[in-house]
A and B are shown apart, each in its own frame.
Chain A
Amino acid sequence: MSLDKSHTLPEVFCLVVEELAFMFGEPVTPDELPDAVDDATLASITFHGPMTGELIMIGPRGLAFMMAANILGLDDVTDVDQAIDAMGEALNVCCGQVLTAAFGDELVFDLTPPQVGPAQHDQWQNLKTDANAFAFMVDDMPIMLRLQVDQGEEACTTS
């Protein structure tokens, strides 16, 4: 039981941001992304079941506000809590979809509520050089995702 190492996460993520937030995501290489982003924000969610692991998403704070505005169908969102909530929900949906896409619908996973907050100053840079991270441009904003699977029949760290 293994994850598709090259397609699953990028395909699912782009589909989710399009269907949930009406945003266009495009996979890019990490070196196409800037070395730093404004007020980098990190969203994380863990899952437990036949395998355990974590999905994280990091991007500029503006991404969370744009996601909130698009999901809610508003011209603009200025409320931080709304923005944080929207980014967490996007990750939650992505995680559920990617687990099914990767492992099929026979396995049951429990997801924890997503956590969203400021990223540590070196997290963006660290993820840029992480071979298991995936880079995207979403409506001209840089984003990276990393799916880590810690336990199971075949523990792996990829997507």
Chain B
Amino acid sequence: MGMNVLIVDDSATVRAVLEKTLKLAEIPITSVHHATNGAEALEVLQAEQIDIVFADLNMPVMNGLQMIMKLYEQGRLKTLPVIVVSTEGGRQRVDRLLELGIAGYVRKPFHPEDVRGAVNQISEEHHVNVA
């Protein structure tokens, strides 16, 4: 059984490429949901059973950091793996996100093996089913 994935990015191009990358990386997927900002993502997370989230930081309406703070306050980061996929490279910000409990960080531009590596890294910690 595959994962239910949520991809959060205001760029439709990135969402499409990330979805394609997940398939190329042979990560088993049951469904892929899209959100264009953090607020939309929180709505999807309320309505759907999501196993893993890939989220950008730089987005309008509600950015990725704000979304992650909400998930942290709700205690959801303990059980929901969130992988940040962003162009930002500030070490302090990445460290802060890791302290909050994100499961991984992939920097843009990314290769399929970067995404696969991040998913593999968290699969045991979060007991996500990855073939």
Contacts and interface: CB of A to CB of B under 8 A. Distances in A.
B87 A97 contact: yes
Contacts of B10: 113
Contact of B109 (A19, A82, A95): A19
Contact of B90 (A82, A93, A95, A108): A108
B126 interface: no
Contact of A93 (B12, B59, B87, B92): B87
B58 A92 contact: yes
B17 interface: yes
B89 A112 contact: no
A111 B59 contact: no
A86 B15 CA distance: 11
B87 A105 contact: no
A125 B85 CA distance: 36
A107 interface: yes
B58 A72 contact: no
Contacts of A71: 13, 17
20 contacts: A19-B109, A20-B109, A72-B20, A85-B11, A85-B12, A89-B13, A92-B58, A96-B87, A96-B89, A97-B89, A100-B90, A106-B90, A106-B92, A108-B88, A108-B90, A108-B93, A109-B88, A111-B58, A111-B87, A113-B59
Interface of A: 16, 19-20, 68, 71-73, 81-82, 85-86, 88-89, 92-93, 95-97, 99-100, 105-113
